[in-house]
Amino acid sequence: MIQINRKNIGLIKKLILNFDSKLYLYKKNGEFYISDSAENYEPEYILPETNFSFSKTFLKRFELKYPYIAGAMAKGISSVEMVKNIFKTGCLGNFGSAGLSNDQIIKNVDILKSETPTFGINIINIPGNQNNELELLQILDKKGVRIISAGAYIKMTPGLVFYRLKGVKKNSDGKIIIPNKILAKISRTEIAKRFLSPPPAKTVKNLFDKGLITREEMLLAESIPMSSDIIAEADSGGHTDKQPAVSLFPEIYLLKKQFQKNYESIKLHAGLAGGISTPWSAYAAFSMGADFIVTGSINQSCLEANTSKKVKFLLSKALQGDFDLVPSADTFELGGKVQILKKGSKFSSRSKYLEKIYNNYNSFEDLPDDDKNFIETKILKKKIEEEWESTKKYLKKIKPDLIDTAEKNPRKKTALIIKSYLGQSSWWAVSGDENREEDFQIWSGPSISSFNSWVKGSFLESPENRNVSQLAKNILNGFLYISRIKLLIGAGIDLLEEIMDYYPEKIK
């Protein structure tokens, strides 16, 4: 037996961290003692081997050891290497395909298929891009990619419905088999309802009429939800509704319970993303009923992240007030915003300045000379017309019809030039372009700040030591440790403050 006092803190923590062992708490002469073996007299409390039961159905469905997902970060920041390494840890990784061409996505899929049994590919909704999306999802299905994450969707597109229904059938026992899994990222209840409902009948019929799905797949569509695994996405990096996790998740959790009644043999799961970066945030998520957790911003500071060393350094120093909402490149004209790390870059102020120009003037030609000069010398670093020529070269590859529209519409032309700057700024950050450091756009949420505070003074403080495996293991280990501590406190066991917290350590 070990007496619970400051002298034995290290030994006590080691016992609590042995999650496979029961712990026995005894009280002798007014003092508490702890042991991993039973003594000859009645203990005050027995702490069981496993004090938290992860969702077995979620783990089985995705063939994982832990209910932990390294979420997708666009432009390949969530890299092949990141996805591979997090899978080796027993978790799921989603490749960050947003912003990449179909050819680039398929190239990375082929690498993952040859090296990683289980992985996901992120699909982001882009208005006016439905044909391209359907084409990509047809290829992914044909290549045997069985997991995608879906973000920024307002309604169910033909591509998503096609992917969900392909291969759906009944087995010999009459159970519906759904091979393709969609992890739906949502931050509003009305969108959650659409994903928890069957695919739209009209879209299903159109897919059948075009010969894209079979009659059996069409007939079974009304019996399955678009997604059996939804992610409540709270305050996150990039596109975000800045929803507080503690108010968003309970609503999504209750919706899941409500819709579960519609699917007798299909288990629904709800996970939480946005703000997950420490053992305490993981504990909060699982305590609210989350079946799984999703991390994001913290992984961008890891070795496997496909972004520059400068970005990783800036993220590793981020504090709680270092974030801002700025104009989004893909939804600029609609007033869309993304959350970024503002510290270490002038992108926040410059992007807002351009937004103000767009809102107050019809075109760049209407600008006062001082404003025009500032834009050309400080922001674009070239003449506005030169930037337009560069923008046209890009548009010729993806949407050539926009060029004629913009030439006839000065306001549209102004928007496209601004969007060109906004779009390039995130690539400058990824590539680490030293000539454009002032314009780095780094998507991130404040969860990285909490993480930095937690790991300060540990081996994970430096980005050179951060890898997705150690982050996942420490967050999950810490969560289990805190869970055991809470049980001990609930049982009336007096614990020292030094025992109550968990800090990072190297885990094999």
Give the pLDDT of residue 195. Answer: 99
Residue 398 has what pLDDT? 84
CA atoms within 13 A on the CB side of 199: 27
Q: What is the pLDDT of residue 492?
A: 86
How confident is the chain (508 residues) per 10-residue block, as mean pLDDT? 92 93 91 89 88 86 98 96 98 96 97 96 90 97 98 96 98 94 97 98 98 98 98 91 93 98 96 97 97 98 98 97 95 93 97 97 95 97 96 91 94 97 97 97 96 98 98 97 92 87 94
Residues β-bridged to residue 31: 28
**Residue 495 confidence (pLDDT):** 84
> Which CATH class for the 61-307 domain?
alpha beta
CA-wise closest residue to 18 among 53, 63, 48 = 48
Spatial separation of the C-alpha atoms in residues 73 and 304, rounded to whole Å: 12
Residue 1's pLDDT is 86
Backbone φ and ψ for 46, nearest 5 degrees, come out as: -115, 120
Task: Express each pLDDT in 344-367 by its tens digit.
Answer: 999 999 999 999 999 999 999 999
pLDDT of residue 349: 98
For the whole model, what pTM was predicted? 0.94
Q: Which amino acid, 442?
A: I
Tell me: the pLDDT tens digits for 233-247?
Answer: 999 988 888 899 999
Report the candidate in 75, 101, 89, 22 with the shortest Cα–Cα distance to residue 308: 75
Domain boundaries, the chain: 2-50+467-500, 61-307, 321-439
